[in-house]
Amino acid sequence: MGQIRKVNGVYYIEFHARGLLYSQMAGGDLEQAQRLLFQVEEKIAHGEALTIDRHIDLADFFGRFIDEIQKQQSSRTVGRFAAAIEHFSGFLKSDFPQVVRLAQISPGILESYKRCLAGALRPRVLNLTLLLIRDVLEFGITLGFINDNPCLHLRLLPWPPSRPPKETPRYVLARRLLSQGVGLARLAQLLKLTDIARCIYFADLIPLSRF
């Protein structure tokens, strides 16, 4: 049985077919969304699931991510993710208005976003923003709407030489977990983002080919 969700005044229908989760925009009218969901469920019941396109709109996807992260993280961490999503969404609307679905986000678009950030942010803030977006897009793999994270080969900016911080227990823990590929969302459940950031910028923690 499918369901209807409302995100920013727009209704989306979601349903399962062939063991996968589907999402589809249904407009701003609830009755229209209900009719569309009924039609889709009729197709599935008659074995026509293969005729249904599988995609998720960005507004729906970002809303799902925030809903999920709110169950796990502090309000401060949620706020950081929300701010990163808002800024990235604004960039897409300005520079790539044709990109409205998750699967349309490509490594090239993310490289353009990095260049945009480079003109306004310090390296450590830019890098943290990219890592936050990487975690957001990783959620798309969890949901099954994309197979690869387009941030995979995005390189972080080099951090200017500086005196390394004192290796406190938190620093050592963050360094070990990051080197194992643990994402920011998971790591933020254990440590403050400031502790995580210090590790990212003062040590070669993760192979750059991972970004």
Task: Give dist(CA 110, CA 124) in Å, integer.
Answer: 17
Q: Which CATH architecture has domain 58-210?
A: Orthogonal Bundle (1.10)
* Sequence-distant (≥ 6) Cβ neighbours of residue 177 within 8 angstroms: 187, 190
Q: Whole-number mean pLDDT of the chain? A: 77
Share of the chain above pLDDT 90, in %: 24
Q: pLDDT (tens digit, 9 = 90+) per residue, 117-164? A: 998 888 888 888 998 999 999 998 888 788 889 988 788 887 665 555
The predicted structure's pLDDT at residue 136: 94
Residue 43, pLDDT above cutoff 60: yes
The predicted structure's pLDDT at residue 91: 96
**Where exactly are the structural domains of the chain?**
3-51, 58-210
User: pLDDT-derived band of residue 203, with 50, 70 and 90 as boundaries?
Assistant: very low
State which H helix or E strand residue 171 sits in: helix 169-179
The predicted structure's pLDDT at residue 23: 72
Residue 99, pLDDT above cutoff 90: yes
Token code pair at residue 165 = 């911080």
**Where is average pLDDT lowest: 71-80, 134-143, 162-171, 200-209?**
200-209
Residue 194, pLDDT above cutoff 70: no
Token code pair at residue 26 = 């249904």
CA distances from 206 to 69, 150, 172 (A): 24, 17, 14
Q: How many residues does the chain have?
A: 211
Amino acid 77 reads: T
Judged by DSSP in three states, 200 sits in helix
- Residue 28's nearest CA partner among 49, 43, 7 is 7
- Residue 150's nearest CA partner among 114, 200, 198, 201 is 114
The predicted structure's pLDDT at residue 178: 67
The predicted structure's pLDDT at residue 10: 76
The residue among 203 and 76 whose pLDDT is bigger is 76
